[in-house]
Amino acid sequence: MEARLRQSKNDRELESAAEIHRREIEKLAEIWEKKPLIRRIYQDFYLLLNQWLADDVNSLLEIGAGFGGLKKLLPNCIATDLFPSRWVDRCEDVYELSLADESLSNIVMVDVFHHLQFPGDALAECSRVLLKGGRLLIFEPDISAMGLLVYGLFHHEPLGLRNRLEWRRNRIRKELEDVYYASQANAHRVFIRSHKVSQLEDWKVLNITRKAAFSYVAAGGFRKRQFYPDSWYSTVRGLDLLLDNFPSLFSTRMLVVLEKVQTSSK
């Protein structure tokens, strides 16, 4: 009886999570259509990602595709998310991907890594399905001085700078896992502060690009007021290029490019 009640509770939580996800994605998609400046900014983000894809760009899986922004630029991308929607090609769980071993050249995650409660497990699964030399692109918030201000004061998700960073799932405690998890500083902690970097045994850190992205911050993102007109974008982008030279002070976005390498155990 206790097991059935727990399962019923888990089913209700999962259904609730799916509904929350649906509402959130539809809200973001509505803003995307109404706010051309956001579309232009994200197009530049996606173009940056495109520069770092492995050669076979037609072999590309996006984890957490949301409303399918990347697929608009790269139509051959397989757009996936945890829950079904009209924007994704199929559902995938990054901890248990349905793809065969060594079947992909590229995986992209945009604003997904900070939702991974057990990033080590997710990276291991990505490594499994990538070919040797395949690439995992992780695009995330970055916690510089300005990033600390922006994400700490004006973003609805927690920074998690002092949270315990659980690399792998403790399967004995699996029933205690949260349905929703967010810790915006996780990519910064792993790849800039080098927490857990010694456990990236399947990967070579090919590149880390830190971007001020003040043009995005001042545009208000998806949720806040826009502070400059669309016509100023090129000028504000020029300021971005200047601020990019001081990442510890001004970086609010980071692109991490991981390349799968052959380990001694293989």
Enumerate residues 6+ apart whose C-beta is below 8 A from 192: 142, 143, 208, 210, 254
What pLDDT, on the 0 to 100 scale, is given for residue 23? Answer: 85
| CATH code where residue 138 lies | 3.40.50.150
Q: Which phi-psi region, left, alpha or beta, contains residue 68 (left: φ > 0; alpha: ψ -120 to 50)?
A: left
Backbone angles phi, psi at 140, to 5 degrees: -145, 165
pTM over cut 0.85: yes
Cα–Cα distance, 214 to 211 (Å, whole number): 8
The β-bridge relationship of strands 203-211 and 60-63 is unpaired
Average pLDDT, the chain: 88
In a domain, 156, yes or no: yes
In the DSSP assignment, the letter for residue 113 is: G
Mean pLDDT value of segment 148-158: 90
Residue-wise pLDDT tens digits, 52-66: 999 887 799 999 999
Number of structural domains the chain divides into: 1
High-pLDDT (> 90) share of the chain, %:
70
Residue 2 has pLDDT above 60, yes or no: no
In a domain, 265, yes or no: no
Mean pLDDT value of segment 233-237: 97
Q: Which two tokens stand for residue 104?
A: 């992909």
In a domain, 266, yes or no: no
**How many Å separate Cα 136 from the centre of its chain?**
11
Residue 206 binned pLDDT confidence (cut-offs 50, 70, 90): very high
Residue 1 has pLDDT above 70, yes or no: no
In a domain, 212, yes or no: yes
**How many Å separate Cα 232 from the centre of its chain?**
28
In a domain, 99, yes or no: yes
Domain that residue 87 falls in: 2-260
Residue 172 has pLDDT above 50, yes or no: no
Residue-wise pLDDT tens digits, 71-105: 989 999 999 999 999 999 999 999 999 999 999 99
Determine whether 9 is exposed, middle or buried from the number of CB atoms within 10 Å of its CB (0-12, 13-18, 19+): exposed
Residue 36 has pLDDT above 70, yes or no: yes
